[in-house]
Amino acid sequence: MTRKIIHIDMDAFFASVEQRDFPELRGKPVVVGSSSDRGVIAAASYEARKYGVRSAMASKVALRRCPHLIFQKHRFEVYKEVSAQIREIFFEYTDLVEPLSLDEAFLDVTQNKKGIESATQVAREIKQKILEKTQLTASAGVSANKFLAKVASDQRKPNGMYIIKPKDVQAFVEQLPIEKFFGVGKKTAEKMHQLDIHKGKDLLRFDLARMIHYFGKAGQYFYDIARGIDERPVRPHRERKSVGIENTFSKDLVDEQQIKLEIERLKAGLVKRLAKSGKQGKTLTLKVKFDNFEQITRSKTLQEPIDQKLLSELAVELIREAPLNRPIRLLGLTISNFKGEDEEPEALQLLIDFKY
């Protein structure tokens, strides 16, 4: 039986909630975030996006692009409440709901509670109910697997719906720009371009062995999705793949002692979060963002879970290995590769926290 998968993605979720709750903001370029020199945009309305403003952009860059940008402080409790309302709608149709974040989720409606044969009809009903209950719009993608449904939901945003039927899968994937592939980030796209891979059809030139040679564990995933294959199930109880903590500093760090002190603070915070999560991981990753927004990471993986003492030692090692030759804007530490978990290609490790 062909699976029927829907991907629902709320349109500019945080910013749309702000425009809904404050009518004077409607039709205006609104962002959620701080307007300070060191602020970062958490979400941007479609009016703001017309000026090239995007989430994760530095606020000062966003203001240069749109001087009349309107900044709203985040209200995460409100966003979580609205997200819960939306999930209630999902569960009217299926218990196979896999949230990726507050504003998007996969649904498997192959066998749904209402006995509706058409996944397109289910998606249409869900979109309408979301609008009626929250006064917010959502975009939907419908297809035979998670990869295709995710890509489809991006085709007609905002407030759109796109269906990729089984007979159209290969033609669709072959013409899809590689940057549109779910799991292909900026660095992977650059590497693919160096290999003269620009669209899905270009991936078909590479056999599985060559894909794994160039892209490691993710090679199997790229090989499959180039052929429209994605057997991953919709998992209602998806567990976190990592526990991390990071801090953006009010002033750039330039002194070695300052850096070591901040690493100790991060380590202490990470230990508390690990204790709360009950997780034990074997990989520690250091994240460094410099004053020019260049970002690097360094990782260490052990055979056994990293305890508190090893965490301190590894953090010091990672700092020594990192080329800290510029003022530092942000530092972060993350534990992953949890004890007993199945390995999964990095490209598939989806975020389930807030999207920034």
Q: Which amino acid is at 275?
A: A
Kindly compute the dihedral angle of the four CA atoms of residues 151, 152, 155, 160, in this order, to the nearest 10 degrees.
-140
**In 94-162, which ranges are continuous DSSP H helix?**
119-134, 146-153
- What gap in Å lies between CA 154 and CA 131, rounded to an integer? 18
Residue 227 burial class via C-beta count within 10 angstroms: exposed 0-12, middle 13-18, buried 19 and up:
middle
Q: Token pair for residue 144?
A: 């035979």
- Containing 211, the helix (H) or strand (E) segment is helix 208-215
Kindly compute the dihedral angle of the four CA atoms of residues 134, 349, 174, 233, in this order, to the nearest 10 degrees.
-70
Q: What backbone torsions phi and psi does residue 14 show, to the nearest 5 degrees?
A: -60, -45
Q: Where do we find the tokens 């890509």?
A: 151
- What gap in Å lies between CA 158 and CA 13, rounded to an integer? 11
Is residue 104 flagged as an active site residue? yes
- What gap in Å lies between CA 67 and CA 100, rounded to an integer? 33
Find the catalytic residue in 88, 98, 104, 346.
104
CB atoms within 10 A of CB 28: 14
State the pairing for strand pair 295-301/281-290.
antiparallel
- DSSP secondary structure of 174-195: HHSBGGGSTT--HHHHHHHHHT
Q: Are 290 and 326 in contact (CB under 8 A)?
A: yes
CB atoms within 10 A of CB 278: 8
The catalytic residue positions are 104
